[in-house]
Structures are given as structure tokens and as C-alpha cells.
Amino acid sequence: MTPPQLSPRVRWTIVGLLSSSIAINLIDRQVLSVLAPLLRESLNLTATQYAYIAASFQFGMMVGQVPMGAFIDRVGTRVDLASIFVAWSVIGGAHALAAGVVGFVVLRFLMGLAECGNYTAGVKAIAALFPSTYRSSAGGLFNAGAQLGSVIATPLVVLIATTLGWRMAFLLPAAVGLLWLIPWLTLFPEKQAVTAAASGRAAGPHVRLVDLIRNRKVMGLFLIRAFSGPITTFYWVWLPLYLRSERAMSYATIGMLGWLPNLVAWQETSPGGS
């Protein structure tokens, strides 16, 4: 497969954009959990109600994976990533208008649907733009954006909420994040160029979904994700609320300390981590 004729500088700049896209993704999805202590106090939410709200996002992520993959294949990475970026940003900003459990549940479900295509689109873009010798490095830089976003989300959201209010903590990151679309649509090649690059690879047989499910390697990856993903998600969803309700930390203190577990996890999973 011959990648599109882009200079190395442009290709690595696109990797930087992909990495920043998933960092923005992680920030936007964590706004709710960082604001959870304030939301419970302001809206009188019980822990059970908050759990329903948090779980609805995960349900949206789950049911959206296959349809989103089909959407990426149909419209191409350039249009898909721009579309879902706009969608999750608008939905994230709309959280500022929610006033109860039902509103948050619906918005979190829709946000899960929109955000689940980010990682898939990024991997597809890297596969199309880079020869095999560079894909692992490009993929590693792309994936690092998730860790970066999870680290900076807590202090950023706390800063906005304490100075401008919790509703602005939903609106501001969503609005500013849309600026990412400008360099993305400028630099990433049109679908035709990527399709032409992929045409040099011989087309393989059509693989049915049931064949993937029966594949041992696919199921191995599925099981790894199924057992490891909930651990990270548990910390993202519940740590700020735990620090507030069980450790009696002030909201400002949560902003100063709540990001440390994500930083440690980043160091442990990075190539330089022990």
C-alpha cells in the first residue's frame, strides 16, 4: 500500500492533530465526572442517579462501535472525524442546558455514540498515510493523546468551574475544541487521495462480523479490553466524587491532586515507564 504523496512534515503534523483530537475527546468526556461533586450538590443528584448518567455514556460507546466503523468506511476519515468532532462538541456543550437526570442520560448516551469513532478513525488514518515501518511510532504518538487529555482534564475543568461556573465548564472546552477543525480540514487529504493510495493493496476476501467474532486473535483483543477498560473508566468516573464525598477534599484541592493517578498510569504504560 502506497501512502498519499505528502511530505513527512505534513504526515507527522497530521499525527499531532490526531493525538490532540483524542486529547480533546478525553477532556470533553471527563468534564461530567470532574464536575460530579458540584452537580450532585447543585442538582441534588443521588449516587445512583449519577451512576445511571455515567453508565449511559458507556452504553452509547458500546452500541456505536460497529455503526461508526461502517460510517468511517463509507464517508472517509477526513469527513468522519470532522463530523463526529462537531457532534460530540455540540452535545458536550449542550450539557450546560441539562437540568435533571433524564437530560444528562440522553446527552451522555449521544456523546458516547459520537465519541466512539475517534480512535477508530485515527487508526485508519495512520494506516492510510504511513508505510508499515512507521505506523507503530505514529500510533504510539496518537495514543499518547488519550493519556495527556486524562491528565489535564481535572485541573482544567476545576479552574473553569471555580472561576466561570459549572455550565461554562461544559461550554468552553467544547467551543474551543472546535478550532481543531481548521488545521484538520486544511491538511488531511481528500477521500479520493487516500482511496487511491489504498488501491495498491490487493483486496482480500470479504470478512463477515461473525468471522471476526470467531477469530481467536480478535476475541483475545476483545477480552483484554473488556477486563482492563473498566478499571481506567472507574477512576475517571468516580475519583473526583470519591475525593469530595469520602475524603472531604475541597474542590480546589481536587483540581490540584485529582490528576495524579492518571499521570502515574501514563508513566506506567509509556515506553519509559517501569
Q: Of 50-64, 119-133, 156-170, which range is least confident?
A: 119-133
Q: What is the pTM of this model?
A: 0.86
* C-alpha cell of residue 126: 495512520
Q: Confidence class of residue 166 from pLDDT cuts 50, 70 and 90?
A: very high
Residue 229 pLDDT more than 70? Answer: yes
DSSP state of 130: S
Between CA 120 and CA 101 the distance in angstroms is 30
Q: Confidence class of residue 3 from pLDDT cuts 50, 70 and 90?
A: low
Of the candidates 11, 104, 99, which has an alpha carbon nearest to the alpha carbon of residue 49? 104
Q: What confidence score (pLDDT) does residue 262 get?
A: 84
Helical H runs in the chain? 8-43, 47-75, 77-94, 101-115, 117-129, 132-164, 166-177, 181-187, 191-198, 209-214, 216-245, 251-257, 260-269
> What top-level class would CATH report for the domain 8-199+208-269?
mainly alpha
| Cβ atoms < 10 Å from Cβ of 210 | 8
pLDDT one-digit tens code per residue, 190-209: 764 555 444 444 455 677 77
pLDDT one-digit tens code per residue, 60-97: 999 998 899 889 989 989 999 999 999 999 999 999 99
| Cβ atoms < 10 Å from Cβ of 182 | 9
Secondary structure of residue 7 in the 3-state scheme: coil
Between CA 176 and CA 120 the distance in angstroms is 23
